Amino acid sequence: MISAENSTTSHTLPRIVIVGGGAGGLELASALGHKLGKKGRAEIVLIDKSRSHIWKPLLHEVATGSLDADLDGVIYSVHAMQHGYRFELGEMIGMDCQAQHISLAAKYDQEGKLLSAERQLNYDQLVLAVGSVSNDFNTKGVKQHCYFLDSHAQAQRFHHALLDNFTRVHQNPDVDSLNIAIVGGGATGVELSADLYHVAKLIKSYGLAQMTPAKLKIQLIEAGPRILPALPERISASARKELSLLGVEVMENVRINEATEEGFVTSEGQLIAAQMMVWAAGVKAPDFIANIEGLSLTRSNQILVEPTLHAKGQENLFVIGDCCACELPDGGFVPPRAQSAHQMASCVYKNILNRRSGKAEVAYKYVDHGSLVNLSRFSTVGSLMGNLNKNSMFVEGKIARLVYLSLYRMHQYAIHGAKRMMALWLAEKLMRAVRPKMKLH
């Protein structure tokens, strides 16, 4: 049953709805909230299916316990009160481009009781920032047997299972090893592999002395000829060397045909045995997008946009982040990275304000500032400057780690402002002295 509360246009202020509270969506809501919401010039609404935000590049740390999302996350409702927008808990399941409303799924509590019925919300301008989900390419058994790291909830599920397996190895001396197989040699798979060794070193300090890094066996499986295929070959080679030194078995040119209870089955029929399996091989936009009429899509459900980031043929619909298919001048599309979402949010912010003041909208221009891969506390490798300099600068070690950490501070600055960002940094410094180095629950 669809709630009629928002089925007709009852608001008086122009309503700008942002769906998705990831890096781009939250930054845009913050900026528009300060510029328009606090001044009563527009109603800014942010919708997300979760109550809190965690920066997606850090989800692998939530999964291993290196980061406690309960302490480091952003509570949307609190942030909304501080920054001049309204937050609504909800999951988008459809939209009508002509009627200009979106449909939100019914919401149930943990006991299965209805919290809110399926409902519709009208908009004057809509920004889709719904991100991406893992693409299993319809590989048999993956949904049933694998862990994904697309959301805070999925990362927490993996974390609880990891702690259980650490305990199992510790309490059963006859267990030789904990085998974890990860499909996908992109940034998520590479960073997760390294961070797992980091927490395996930490866990023995908290009463699980029998669970040592020597008992951790990680296999990183990549279908292509090298890991980190989207990054320069030098970065890929350096990351591969560091992972091998840690003990990760990097398996390249290996295709997976099936996932079973025992592990992954390759295209050649080989079984890669594992107690825990992670699927991080490619992304796509959420499936509901494919059912929306009036949108032009890629094969991975991404929405094709004009240079101004309007969805093609939809002047009141902007698209940013991983679900956006923005063509590059030299061919291909803007890569699904946090820096892309940040830049897109800034462009849409300008275009919304320009339209309100009668000015021409600006075209989005992707600027590649380089890429960094964080191998937990062991190393960081990457390149800086990107297309700002024809010859990208290769960096690694402490300098690269410092730059990597600064990216998160820039995100905090964008959503909190300078004062709150500095306060959070100081609070994190103090908390490190009193809380465990990893989350143990």
pTM above 0.75, yes or no: yes
**2-132+285-356 with 142-282: one CATH topology?**
yes
Question: What is the structure's pLDDT at 11?
Answer: 59
Give the angle 228-326-405 at the CA atoms, nearest 5°.
45
More confident residue, 55 or 352: 352
**pLDDT tens, 82-117?**
999 999 999 999 999 999 999 999 999 889 999 999
**253 φ/ψ sector (left φ>0, alpha ψ -120 to 50, else beta):** left
How do beta strands 15-19 and 43-48 pair?
A: parallel
Alpha carbon distance, N-terminus to C-terminus of the chain:
38
What average pLDDT does this structure show over 11-32?
94
**pLDDT tens, 369-427?**
766 677 766 665 555 444 434 455 555 556 666 666 677 788 888 888 888 888 887 87
CA quadruple 359, 364, 369, 371: dihedral sign? positive
Question: What is the structure's pLDDT at 4?
Answer: 43
Q: Are 74 and 30 in contact (CB under 8 A)?
A: no
**pLDDT tens, 121-142?**
999 999 999 999 999 999 999 9
Alpha helices in 217-361 (DSSP H): 233-246, 338-356
Angle between helices 23-32 and 76-83 (to 10 degrees): 30
State how far the Cα of 236 lies from the Cα of 65, in Å rounded to an integer: 26
What's the full length of the chain, in residues?
Answer: 441
pLDDT reading at 232 higher than 90:
no
What average pLDDT does this structure show over 306-329?
97
Structure token digits, residue 417? 């402002």
- The CATH architecture annotation of domain 142-282 reads 3-Layer(bba) Sandwich (3.50)
pLDDT reading at 360 higher than 70:
yes
Least confidently predicted of 74-88, 207-221, 231-245, 288-302: 231-245
Q: Are 262 and 273 in contact (CB under 8 A)?
A: yes
**pLDDT tens, 149-187?**
999 999 999 999 999 999 999 999 888 899 999 999 999
Hey, where are the domains in the chain? Answer: 2-132+285-356, 142-282, 370-432
Question: What is the structure's pLDDT at 372?
Answer: 65
Question: What is the structure's pLDDT at 186?
Answer: 92
State how far the Cα of 119 lies from the Cα of 102, in Å rounded to an integer: 8
Q: Is 34 helix (H, G, I), strand (E, B) or coil?
A: helix
Q: Are 407 and 338 in contact (CB under 8 A)?
A: yes
Q: 234: buried, middle or exposed (CB in 10 Å: 19+, 13-18, 0-12)?
A: middle
CATH classification number, 2-132+285-356, choose in 3.50.50.60, 3.40.190.10, 3.40.50.720, 1.20.1250.20: 3.50.50.60
Question: What is the structure's pLDDT at 204?
Answer: 84
State how far the Cα of 86 lies from the Cα of 44, in Å rounded to an integer: 6
Q: Are 228 and 190 in contact (CB under 8 A)?
A: yes
Give the angle 9-347-402 at the CA atoms, nearest 5°.
125
Task: Identify the H or E element spanning 145.
Answer: helix 142-145
Q: Are 126 and 17 in contact (CB under 8 A)?
A: yes
User: Tell me, what amino acid is at 274?
Assistant: A
Q: Are 154 and 245 in contact (CB under 8 A)?
A: no
User: Tell me, what amino acid is at 6?
Assistant: N
Angle between helices 418-432 and 397-416 (to 10 degrees): 130
